[in-house]
């Protein structure tokens, strides 16, 4: 018998959700416009849009730069709550989450999902595998869960570990341990699928997981990639699993 795989953990961006090349400043401004309009609907005190946009931009840039240096993540929901407090806004948690969704919506609308992916996830669960995701993100988990629900994937991903909730970013081992613990899986019986060598593959290899690199652009076609397997489509996970005993 071969090695047994009891669970699969996925990266989120450009693994389950494909964003491709994006214009970050343009999307950020579009999100700012939607958030500003929402705050206006709630009759909150607002500065001119240009000042609102600039303050949010510099705050996110600083916290993102700091997180990349330290490997520790921030949660943009907490950041929005602090800014709201200093701006004189009175928002419930539900309103803050909706505000975060408005910020995310332009980016989320650019995402695509490979046809047949929700059905593949359903089939993997029915085969006895535990599925989850591990994502480096400062976007609040309720917002990402809402997007996954919209794409019909949420119900199949029973374990979802977002760096903004646990405070650690891949490839640090803490975030992988958190996911394995929640899924009640051992590293050597878990497959990890991601699109980044530096964060996904290196981190998964260090933990002793079976690493799979999603590489649709053939950037690592020279064979020197440290991943155990390389795929071009997320749907090829099913082919990779043929080399293993699955479930149980």
Residues 90 and 166 in one domain: no
- Among 21, 30, 166, CA closest to 105: 30
Strands 4-5 and 7-10 turn out to be: unpaired
CATH number, position 10: 3.40.50.1000
- Give the mean pLDDT per block of 10 residues along the chain (248 residues): 89 96 94 97 95 93 89 91 90 96 97 97 97 97 98 98 96 97 97 96 97 88 80 97 89
Give the pLDDT of residue 69: 87
Provide the 3-class DSSP secondary structure of residue 4.
strand
73: containing domain: 24-108
C-alpha distances (whole Å) from 30 to each of 51, 97, 109, 150, 167 are 15, 17, 11, 21, 27
Q: How many domains does the chain have?
A: 2
> Reduced to 3 states, what is the DSSP secondary structure of residue 106?
helix
Q: Is residue 118 domain-shared with residue 43, that is, in the same domain? A: no
Which of 61, 83, 108 is the last residue in one of the domains?
Answer: 108
Which of 212, 207, 127 has the alpha carbon at shortest distance from 170?
207
140 and 72 fall within a common domain: no
Answer for the pair 29, 53: CB distance below 8 angstroms, yes or no. yes
Q: Which of 108, 143, 165 is the last residue of a domain?
A: 108
CB 130 within 8 A of CB 159: yes
């Amino acid at each position: 018998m071969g090695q047994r795989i009891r669970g699969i953990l996925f990266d989120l961006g450009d693994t389950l959700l494909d964003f491709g090349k994006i214009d970050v400043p343009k999307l950020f401004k579009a999100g700012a416009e939607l958030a500003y309009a929402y705050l206006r609907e709630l009759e909150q005190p607002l500065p001119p849009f240009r000042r609102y946009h600039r303050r949010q931009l510099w705050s996110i840039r600083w916290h993102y730069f700091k997180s990349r240096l330290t490997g520790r993540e921030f949660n943009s929901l907490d950041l929005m709550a602090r800014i709201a407090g200093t701006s004189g806004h009175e928002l419930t948690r539900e309103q803050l989450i909706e505000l975060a969704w408005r910020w995310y919506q332009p980016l989320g609308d650019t995402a695509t999902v490979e046809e047949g992916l929700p059905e593949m996830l359903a089939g993997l669960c029915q085969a006895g595998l535990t599925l989850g995701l591990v994502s480096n993100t400062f976007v609040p988990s309720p917002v990402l869960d809402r997007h996954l629900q919209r794409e019909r994937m949420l119900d199949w991903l029973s374990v979802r570990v977002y760096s903004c909730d646990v405070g650690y970013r891949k490839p640090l081992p803490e975030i992988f341990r958190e996911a394995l613990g929640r899924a009640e899986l051992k590293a050597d019986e878990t497959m990890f699928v991601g699109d980044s060598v530096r964060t996904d593959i290196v981190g998964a290899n260090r933990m002793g997981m079976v690493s799979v690199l999603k590489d649709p652009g053939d950037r690592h076609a020279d064979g020197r990639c440290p991943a155990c397997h390389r795929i071009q489509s997320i749907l090829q996970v099913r082919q990779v699993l043929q080399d293993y005993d699955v479930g149980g």
